[in-house]
Amino acid sequence: MIRVLLVDDSPTALHYLVHLINSDPDMRVAAAIGDGSGALAAVLSHQPDVVVMDVHMPRVDGVVATREIMESAPTPVVIMSGSSRTNDTVLAARAIDVGAVAVVRKPVGPELPEHVATTAAFLACIRSMAEVRVVRRWAAASRHCAPTVGIEPPVQLRLVAIGASTGGPVVLQTIFSQLPGDFRIPIVAVQHMARGFVEGFVQWLRDQVRRPISVAVHGQALEPGCLYVAPDGGHMEFDSAGTIVIRKDGSDHGHIPSVSRMFHSAASVFGPAAVGVLLTGMGSDGADGLRAMREAGALTIAQDRETAVVYGMPAEAAQLNAAQLYLSPAQIVGTLAHLHDLALEEARRSMPPGEARG
C-alpha cells in the first residue's frame, strides 16, 4: 500500500484529491494538509512513501517546502500544477531543482473531457514515483573527469544527443551548466515531462545556464554551442542536411517526444559524428535508439547505476549492449569536454600550416 501525504492550500482541491487517491486500491492518503509550512512536520510524523504537493501556496510554496523536506527528511516529492502558464511551469522546474522527482498536471473535475486522462496520469505518476529513491547531487565536473578508458575521437563531432526521463532535469542542468564555455557542438535533448511544462523547463534552464537554449522548432538549423529541447507533442528528428524536423505522428515507446526516435534519426543522419547520452528514467525509451547510434559508429554513453535516480532506461541500454560507457554526470561532462578538445586539436592538425598559426 502506497502511503501519500497531500499538500494543497485549496480545501476543495484537497477533498477531491483525497477521494481520487483513496479510490485507488493500491494507495491511501496518510495525511492531507493545507499549507506548505507544515509539510516537513507531516513527513516526519507520518513517514509517507510519496509527497504530492501543489506548487502554488500562499505562505510556503512547493519549492520552499520541497527544499525543507529534501534537506531534513528526504522523500519522493511530486509537484502538482493546475496551470501551464510560463511562470507556473518555471516555478515547477525550480521545485525539481531542489529535489522534487516529478511534475504532474493536477487532475481536472469529472465534468471536463480531460478528466479520465488527467486522473490516470496523476495516479500513475504517484504510483511510479513512490518507488523512486530521492534525487542525488553530484560533485562539480572538471576537465579531469574524463574516464581513463581510451576514446577514439570522432573525425568530425557534429552533434550531442541526450535523452532523459525521471530525474533528468537536474542532470541536464548539471551537464549544460558545467560544460566549458568554448564547447561549440550543438546539443539536442528529449526530456520526458508532463505536457505543458517544456516552455517553463527551458526558461528555468536559461536562468541556470549561460548558453543559448530554445524549444526546438521545425526547420531550425543547428547552431554551434546551442541547446535544443524537443517540444511538447512532437518527435525531434533531423533531415539529410542536419536541420531539425518535428513530426507529430503518434507515440513511440509510449512517449511524444521519444528519445529513441531522436537517437535513430541521429544515427541515420550523423553516424559516427555524433555522441548519444541516455540518462536516468523509467521504461525503455532510448535504449534501442542508442544501440542504433552505436552501430552507426557514434560514441554512446549511459548514466551509471550509482547516480541515476531511476536506473530503468540505462539498464535497458545495458541489456542491448547499447552503451560503451556508463558514467556519472560529472564524468559525462568531462568526457564531452575531452572529446571536444580532441576534435579541436584534430581540426587544427588538419589545417594548412599558415591557417593553423592564424
State the catalytic residues: 165, 192, 285
Nearest to 195 by CA among 105, 102, 90, 79: 105
Grid cell for residue 115: 478528466
326 sits in the region (left: phi over 0; alpha: psi -120 to 50; else beta) called beta
Contacts of 314 (CB under 8 A, 6+ apart): 278, 279, 280, 302, 303, 304, 305, 308, 323, 326
CA angle 99, 160, 246 (to 5 degrees): 90
| Helix (H) / strand (E) containing 152 | none
Q: One-letter amino acid identity for 286?
A: G
Q: One-letter amino acid identity for 312?
A: G
Chain centre to alpha carbon of residue 169: 4
Query: What letters, b where the CB count within 10 A reaches 16 and e where it falls short, cover 309-323?
Result: bbbbbbebbeeeebb
Question: What's the CA gap between 128 and 97, in Å, rounded?
Answer: 19
Strands of the chain (E only): list them: 2-7, 27-33, 50-54, 77-81, 102-105, 159-164, 187-191, 213-215, 227-229, 235-238, 244-247, 274-278, 299-303, 325-327
SS3 4: strand
Strands 299-303 and 325-327: parallel
